[in-house]
Structures are given as C-alpha cells and as structure tokens.
Structure 1
Amino acid sequence: MLELRPNCECCDKDLPPASLEAVICTFECTFCKSCTSGVLANQCPNCGGNFSPRPIRPASLLGKYPASTQRVVKAGGCTPLARLPLSQGRPWYLS
C-alpha cells in the first residue's frame, strides 16, 4: 500500500492525501510538480526514474488506511541525479 507521504522531498511543500500536485517515482519518492518539472528535470534524484501522478486514496478509506505523517526532505536540497557523483549519495542500485 502506498505511504502517501505528506510533503515534497525537495521543497517541503505540504502534499495532503488528495493533492493533485503530488507525483511519485517507482520507489514512492514524493515530490511536487513544480520541483519535478523545474530543478529535477523530470528525473528522480534518488533512483533516476520518472514520475507519475500519485493516486488519491478515497477519503472514506483514510481512517482505516491513513496517510503517512513522516516528513522526508533531502539533506542538502535537490540536485538532479545525473549531476551527483557516486560519492555524494547516489543509491546503491545505481552504483
């Protein structure tokens, strides 16, 4: 089940469960549309993958299956993956 993370990992913008601004990669890294189309150039800085709109969980199911409250923000800001050398934290699966 998707975590529905509460914020953009790049700019820390709030992305509530019903947000149409939330996009995710295949590993559920969560960003806002502004960051993905801007600084990230539509490439996940964590895995190198692309983004898709995050599905919206029906409000009637949020009580039983709540969204995550744990905020994730990239230390040092968002740098597109292609610009990061391996020594600066590229994921193990891209090494």
Structure 2
Amino acid sequence: MLKMKPTCERCSAALGLGDQAYICSFECTFCPKCSEALSLSCPNCQGRLVLRPPRTRSPTEVPTQGFKAKLEDILNRS
C-alpha cells in the first residue's frame, strides 16, 4: 500500500490525503512548489517525481455503517 506522507520532505508543508503532492518510486514526497523547484527530480534517489494519487479517506478509518451492519449480521448467525 502506498504510504501517504503528511508533509513535504523539503519544506515541511502539510499535505493532506486529497492534496496535490509528488512522489518518486521510493515514496519520497514533495509539495508541488518544491517539486517544480527540483525540476521533478528526487534529490534523494534522482528518480522522477510524479503526481501522487489522492485519497478521500484513510485506509484505517472505521468501515461505513452499512458494511459494519452486514458483517455483524453474518457473525451473529454463527
């Protein structure tokens, strides 16, 4: 699973799950401003910085009520 780092590694700007950010293949993470200043090249591994896919929620959040209710129903049948 892709690690969504919460800050830019260069300037420490906060990066939310849905914010635009750039990453390399080693998941080094940079804000758009720093990525542009670095010419889309990672200073750590010299890899290419590409746009990080956004997430709408954390994968560790509690499942929605519909899913939870279905799961409890299945478990209670046993």
| Same structural fold, with TM-score higher than 0.5 when normalized by the shorter chain | yes
Match for residue 55 of structure 1? 53
Query: For residues 23 and 60 of structure 1, what CA distance do their matches in structure 2 show?
Result: 18
User: 1:44 aligns to what?
Assistant: 42
Q: Which amino acid counterpart does residue 8 of structure 1 have in structure 2?
A: C
Does the 8 Å CA contact 2:40/2:50 hold for their aligned counterparts?
Answer: no
Higher alpha-carbon Rg? 2
| SS, match of residue 59 in structure 1 | coil
Once residues 61 and 36 of structure 1 are traced to their aligned partners in structure 2, the CA distance between those partners, rounded to angstroms, is 26
- Code of the residue aligned with 2:57 in structure 1: it is A
Structure 1 segments unaligned to the other structure (5+ residues): 65-95
**Higher helix proportion (structure 1 or 2):** 2
Q: Indicate the residue corresponding to 2:2 in structure 1.
A: 2
Distance apart, 1:62 and its partner CA = 5.0
User: Superposition RMSD on alpha carbons, in Å?
Assistant: 1.6
Partner of 2:74: none
Question: Which fold has the larger relative contact order, with Cα–Cα distance below 8 Å and residues 6 or more apart in sequence?
Answer: 1
Q: State the number of aligned residues.
A: 62
Partners of 2:23 and 2:50 within 8 A in 1 = yes
Q: Which amino acid aligns with 2:12?
A: D
TM-score by length of 1: 0.59
